[in-house]
Each structure stands twice: as structure tokens, then as C-alpha cells.
């Protein structure tokens, strides 16, 4: 796989992973962010309450999604936008859980995806006290002015992944994951294998000088 992928980010209405209220995508082709897309949405039926703790993080409240399409209506379009390319998310365990829980709740099969986790990769590539999206973006010199807006977070995830590929001289996501000692995550109907370490080794010696895009 080359440096072509879709970075994805979800925000949720509450602590249930299957309560997405916003999605953001960043399409990367030939090592560049080529296009972005995102939308607010009404969470799946029965999952639409807004937890004040979640709202405090992303700022989305119930009135913001009034009149927006439901997840049930949006999912086929989201799935089409993911088809044929690997997916990367910062803390992919969360975003893949959103997909799994929300699609199951709505009666859809899980999609077929290969996915990587930029959080796990960042732990191998940046010597930092923490590896939150904000911390890694700062270390990589990537602007993140609207953190917890799903589109902005997806774009930051995409640029972080490209920065790690540049720092490690990886020509593809396969190579980047291999250098980081990680295996692809896999999702398919009735199959879920998380992105995970395949070996233990010392942290990569990667400089923290900013990379400009």
C-alpha cells in the first residue's frame, strides 16, 4: 500500500461509542491531502442523548444536529468514501468502535477495512510525555486550531501520518507500520482484529524538528 489512505475522526454525543454526532474525513493520495469532507449528524435512534462531559470536549449540542441527516442515512455514503483505501485514525480503537457499534445498532454489516492507528505509530516515532493528537501535532509542527472538530482532527491525523512516513523514510503505509512494529487492523463482517504491536523494540530515534506542509 502506498501513501494513499483516508484519515477519519468521529465525535460522539455521549460515552456510547455508537453515538456519532460528527464525522470528518481527509483523503490522502500521492502523499498529499487531496480532499476533505465532514458533516454533523443525528446519532442512531436511541443513542441521541448528549452527555455534558462530551459536549464540553467538542462543543456540539442537541440543537446543532437538528435537521441534520441521521447516521442511518449517512452511513452508506461514509462507507463508499472509505471503500478501496486503508483507513488511519488517531486512537483507531475508538473510531473503529464507533463504526462497529453504530452499524450493528442500525442493522448494517460491518464494512471491510484495513486500518492503522496513528496514536500507536506516534508512540514509536515521537519521544513525548504523551501522544494525544494535540501533543503530536505540536511536535510535528502541524496546526490544530480547531481541535475536536472532526474534519480538523482528521486532517491533523493525515498530516501526522505523512510526517511519520517522512521521518522514517517509509514509502508506504505498509512500510511505516512495519518500521513501527505494528500489524494492520482488519475489520470485516464478523471479523475485528485491532491494529497491534507485533514485536518489542527500542523507540525509534526520530528528530522532533517541525515538518511544514
- Answer yes or no: is pLDDT of 204 > 90: no
At 201, the pLDDT band (50, 70, 90 cuts) reads: low
Show the cell assigned to 38: 465532514
Could you give the number of structural domains in the chain?
A: 1
Residue 204 resides in a domain = no
At 210, the pLDDT band (50, 70, 90 cuts) reads: very low
Residue 53 resides in a domain = yes
- Per residue in 11-38, pLDDT tens? 999 999 999 999 999 999 999 999 999 9
- Average pLDDT on 50-71 reads 97
Residue 203 resides in a domain = no
- Answer yes or no: is pLDDT of 213 > 80: no
- Per residue in 76-103, pLDDT tens? 999 999 999 999 999 999 999 999 999 9
- Per residue in 105-137, pLDDT tens? 999 999 999 999 999 999 999 999 999 999 999
Give the domain CATH number at 115: 3.30.420.10
CA-nearest of 13, 23, 67 to 44 is 13
> What's residue 200's pLDDT?
53
Residue 207 resides in a domain = no
- Average pLDDT on 45-62 reads 97
Q: Strands 196-197, 182-183: parallel, antiparallel or unpaired by DSSP?
A: antiparallel
> What's residue 209's pLDDT?
38
| Residues 89/98, Cβ–Cβ less than 8 Å | no
Cα of 121 vs its chain's centroid, Å: 13
Lowest-confidence pick of 5-9, 96-100, 187-191, 195-199: 195-199
Exposed (0-12), middle (13-18) or buried (19+): which is 189, by Cβ within 10 Å? exposed
Exposed (0-12), middle (13-18) or buried (19+): which is 119, by Cβ within 10 Å? buried
> What's residue 211's pLDDT?
33
Residue 208 resides in a domain = no
Round the average pLDDT of the chain to a whole number and report it.
Answer: 93
Exposed (0-12), middle (13-18) or buried (19+): which is 156, by Cβ within 10 Å? buried
- Average pLDDT on 142-153 reads 94
Residue 213 resides in a domain = no
CA distance 44 to 41: 9
Model confidence pTM above 0.85: yes
Show the cell assigned to 158: 493525515
- Answer yes or no: is pLDDT of 44 > 90: yes
Q: Strands 196-197, 185-188: parallel, antiparallel or unpaired by DSSP?
A: unpaired
Residue 202 resides in a domain = no
Residue 205 resides in a domain = no
**Residue numbers of the domain that contains 41:** 5-197
- Answer yes or no: is pLDDT of 188 > 60: yes
> What's residue 208's pLDDT?
40
Amino acid at each position: 500500500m502506498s501513501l494513499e489512505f483516508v484519515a477519519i475522526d468521529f465525535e460522539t454525543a455521549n460515552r456510547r461509542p455508537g453515538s456519532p454526532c460528527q464525522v470528518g474525513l481527509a483523503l490522502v493520495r500521492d502523499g498529499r491531502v487531496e480532499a476533505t469532507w465532514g458533516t454533523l449528524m443525528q446519532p442512531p435512534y436511541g443513542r441521541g442523548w448528549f452527555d455534558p462531559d462530551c459536549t464540553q470536549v467538542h462543543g456540539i449540542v442537541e440543537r446543532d444536529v437538528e435537521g441534520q441527516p441521521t447516521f442511518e442515512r449517512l452511513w452508506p455514503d461514509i462507507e463508499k468514501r472509505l471503500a478501496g483505501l486503508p483507513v488511519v485514525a488517531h486512537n483507531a480503537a475508538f473510531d473503529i468502535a464507533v463504526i462497529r457499534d453504530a452499524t450493528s445498532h442500525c442493522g448494517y454489516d460491518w464494512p471491510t477495512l484495513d486500518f492503522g492507528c496513528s496514536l500507536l505509530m506516534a508512540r514509536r516515532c515521537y519521544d513525548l510525555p504523551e501522544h494525544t493528537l494535540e501533543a503530536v501535532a505540536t511536535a510535528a509542527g502541524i496546526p490544530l486550531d480547531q481541535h475536536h472538530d472532526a474534519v480538523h482532527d482528521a486532517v491533523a491525523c493525515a498530516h501526522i501520518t505523512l510526517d511519520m512516513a517522512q521521518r522514517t523514510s517509509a514509502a508506504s503505509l505498509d512500510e511505516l507500520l512495519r518500521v513501527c512494529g505494528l500489524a494492520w487492523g482488519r475489520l470485516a463482517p464478523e471479523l475485528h482484529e485491532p491494529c497491534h504491536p507485533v514485536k518489542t523494540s527500542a523507540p525509534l530515534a526520530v528528530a522532533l524538528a517541525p515538518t511544514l506542509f
